[in-house]
Structure 1
Amino acid sequence: MLLLYNFGIALYKMLIYIVSFFNLKAKLFLKGRENIFSKIKEKADGNQKHIWFHFASLGEFEQGRPVLEELKKTHPEKKIIVTFFSPSGYEIRKNYALADGIFYLPLDTKKNARRFIDLIQPEIAIFTKYEFWYHYFQLLHERKVPLLIISGIFRPNQLFFKWYGGFYRKMLHCVTHFFVQNTESVNLLEGLNFKNVSLSGDTRFDRVAENVLTVQPLPLIEEFCGQAPVFIAGSTWPQDEQLIIALIAAYPQWKFIIAPHEIGPSHIDQLVKLIPGALRYTQLDGQVSQPESQVMLIDNIGLLSSIYQYGKVVYIGGGFGVSIHNTLEAAAFGLPVIFGPKYDKFQEAKDLLQINAAITISSMPQLSSAFEKLQHDADAGTAAKKYVQDKKGATRQILTYLEPFISRDGL
């Protein structure tokens, strides 16, 4: 099985190389890993112990960020290394100030794992939510480096829980402690006789609650919104946008802010053609030149979590594709949420539906009905905010566990 795993890693690299000729993310994936060990050696002192945080992408970074930042606050002397697997995480957070080194994770081969771990000398490794890499995990275990999975979530259909999943279960045995989001994950791991499991919840609740307290005003957005109620569509894909566009004409008294998931020029140009008169955030040049405009397109990255402060009802995209995007950032501001039919991978989406703080839709009439209901339902927003507040605390639980490891000299 290990031979097949190694072949899969090699095949993946070859496929990425081929795709890189016509796909920017694949190109960044390869380019970011060029001379990666020289970059690591230049930035990381091989004689210095580091705390290693690994994130698959940007979403996992935001999820694990409360733990990283609180740890740095309580132990400012500690050196932190951050790695990303995906360009969508690395390219946005490559200048993150609290890390002493930020890198792409070299592909998981035995040689790469040894070179990487030799260079950064981790005293503890923290992986957020998922990503299980055989050679990295085995070497950490061999060197007795504590390995934590935080905000983990497990499902019965994963290979770990199949009768033929023995190879993948070996990786689970390398984990020092699992901090998981829900009782299903606890039960699945305990069913494999793992006792090193804590039901901590999701660190994203701490992150989004903190964002509400520290959010900065956005003058251009504020000027655009004026006194009108605002419908925000976040992380949308084309099928989501077709539904939202149909709402715009039906509600002329509302302002609409659309923040698409893909902000490449071709997609933004397409939206501008579909929505005549829509403003583009990056072209406002310091003022809203057409304050009477009904629609604003957010054509850059990093604003959405702050824009929610101006909303009344939110639509979260992705539910007609692979799965919905982040609902918690909006819920933290006390906004009721609408999303498409594919949400089953997210416990918080199920919870928001259960407490009537969200509505799922699969058609234009359903979207119109949901929008009509939620704009008059003050209790939905209140329930969403209370849900986030009640779920805080995972960060403190994880840090309490970490403290005995971190406070001592060496491991």
Structure 2
Amino acid sequence: MLFLYDAGIYLYFLVARILALFNKKIKLWVNGRRHLLEHIADVLDTGDSRIWFHFPSLGEFEQGRPVLEALRKNYPGKKIVITFFSPSGYEIRKNTPLADHVFYLPVDTRRNAREFIRLVQPEMAIFTKYDYWYHYFNELHEKQVPLYVISAIFRKQQPFFKWYGTLNRKMLDFISHIFVQDEASKELLQTIGIRHVTVSGDTRFDRVAENAVHPKAIAVAEQFSNNHQVFIAGSTWPEDEKLLAELVVEYPDWKFIIVPHEIGESRITALCKLLPENSFVRYSAIATSQISNLKSQILIIDNIGMLSSLYQYGNIAYIGGGFGVGIHNTLEAAAFGLPVIFGPNYQRFREARELITLQAAFSIDTFNGLKAVMQRLQDDSLRVQASETAKNYVQRNTGATSAIVGYICKNLSSVKNHIDT
């Protein structure tokens, strides 16, 4: 099985190098790993021990950020190294002040894992939600470096629980402790003999709750809203935007803020073509002198990093991705007390299912469905009820960070670095 795993990793990297000739994001992924270990050796001081955080992408960074911030605060003298698998995480957070060093994660080969661990000398490693890499986990295990996976969630469809998942199950044995989001995940792990598990909840609740208390002020959005009812569509894809283009015509008295998931010029141009002429303004086109004169019905955000704070200006939220592989982050909007609407592909997301059960979220699969939900939410009493329910749901589920950090801090003092230098 390990041979097949290694062959798959090699093939993945080979295909990525070919696709990098045609895809900008994949090119960043490939180029970011060129001479990476040599670069790490040049910038890291030997003799330091560090806490290593790994995040697959930007979403997991935000999810694990409360734990990162807590450990940074509790242990200000400890060095922190962050790695990302995806360019969408690395390129946006490569200069974060929460870490001493930020790198791409070298491809998971035995040699790379051994050299990376030797250079970083982690006192512990913390992975968020997923990204299970055999050689890194095995190397940490052999060096007796504690490895924690936080905010993990498991489903019976995953390889861990299949007859062919021997190697995947072995990776779980290498983990020192797994903090899962729900009881169902713990029960699944117990069926395969994994018992070093704590149901701590999801650290995203802590992150979005904190953000809702201290959001960034966005002058353009505040002036654009200007006491209007505001519909905020976050992380949208083309299928979402086709429905939204029809909705803006049906509700001319509402303001709309649309935040596409991808903001390349071709994507923004395609979105603009869907919308009524002269109905929109792009964020990048607004000069400071124009902020006081935002008369358009639609504000298109062609900028990164604003969405989580934009929800403070909204009354209803639409979350994109539900017509593709799955919806994006619903909790950021729910934390501000916004009723949430999304497409049909949401079943893999526990919070989406629970918000629907609580009637604080609504799934649609056609424009008529979207229109019906929008009409329903015109009733102020129903919208207020959904709003309060969404906000209370987030508050009830906070606390994962304190559970995880408490466990880690309790064990940190007894951790010894067993890495050969």
Which string of whole-angstrom CA distances, capped at 9 and with x for unpartnered residues, describes residues 291-310 of structure 1? 22100100011000010000
Letter in 1 for 2:286: L
The two structures, once aligned, show a CA RMSD in angstroms of 1.1
Distance 1:383 1:115, change over 3 A: same
Q: Could you tell me whether the CA contact under 8 Å between 1:313 and 1:375 is conserved in 2?
A: no
Find the partner of 1:340 among 336, 339, 343.
343
Aligned partner of 1:279 in structure 2 is 281
Gaps of 5+ in 1: none
Q: Could you tell me whether the CA contact under 8 Å between 2:219 and 2:291 is conserved in 1?
A: no
Aligned partner of 1:400 in structure 2 is 406
In 2, Cα distance between equivalents of 1:280 and 1:146: 47
Q: Does 1:356 align with 2:356?
A: no
| Correspondence list, 1:236-247, <5 A | 236-247=236-247
Aligned partner of 1:372 in structure 2 is 375
Letter in 2 for 1:367: L
Where 1:173 maps in the other structure, the secondary structure is helix
Where 2:77 maps in the other structure, the secondary structure is coil
Which string of whole-angstrom CA distances, capped at 9 and with x for unpartnered residues, describes residues 285-343 of structure 1? 11337522100100011000010000000000000000000000000000000000000
TM-score, length of structure 1 as denominator length: 0.98
| Correspondence list, 1:34-113, <5 A | 34-113=34-113
In 2, Cα distance between equivalents of 1:188 and 1:136: 24
Q: Does 1:140 align with 2:140?
A: yes
In 2, Cα distance between equivalents of 1:239 and 1:290: 31
In 2, Cα distance between equivalents of 1:374 and 1:107: 48
Letter in 1 for 2:296: S
Letter in 1 for 2:315: K
Aligned partner of 2:150 in structure 1 is 150
Q: Does 1:410 align with 2:416?
A: yes
Q: Could you tell me whether the CA contact under 8 Å between 2:123 and 2:415 is conserved in 1?
A: no
In 2, Cα distance between equivalents of 1:409 and 1:225: 52
Aligned partner of 2:228 in structure 1 is 228
Distance 1:71 1:375, change over 3 A: farther
C-alpha displacement of 1:408: 4.3
Letter in 1 for 2:268: I
Distance 1:139 1:409, change over 3 A: closer
Q: Could you tell me whether the CA contact under 8 Å between 2:242 and 2:274 is conserved in 1?
A: no
C-alpha displacement of 1:6: 0.6
C-alpha displacement of 1:409: 6.5
Gaps of 5+ in 2: none
C-alpha displacement of 1:196: 0.8
C-alpha displacement of 1:42: 2.6
Letter in 2 for 1:314: A
In 2, Cα distance between equivalents of 1:373 and 1:46: 62
In 2, Cα distance between equivalents of 1:406 and 1:50: 12
Q: Could you tell me whether the CA contact under 8 Å between 1:43 and 1:100 is conserved in 2?
A: no
Task: Give the fraction of aligned pairs with identical amino acids, expressed as a percent.
Answer: 55
Aligned partner of 1:391 in structure 2 is 397
In 1, Cα distance between equivalents of 2:269 and 2:68: 38
In 2, Cα distance between equivalents of 1:144 and 1:284: 54
C-alpha displacement of 1:34: 1.3
For these two proteins, the number of residue pairs brought into alignment is: 411
Aligned partner of 1:217 in structure 2 is 217
Distance 1:270 1:290, change over 3 A: farther
Find the partner of 2:291 among 264, 285, 288.
288
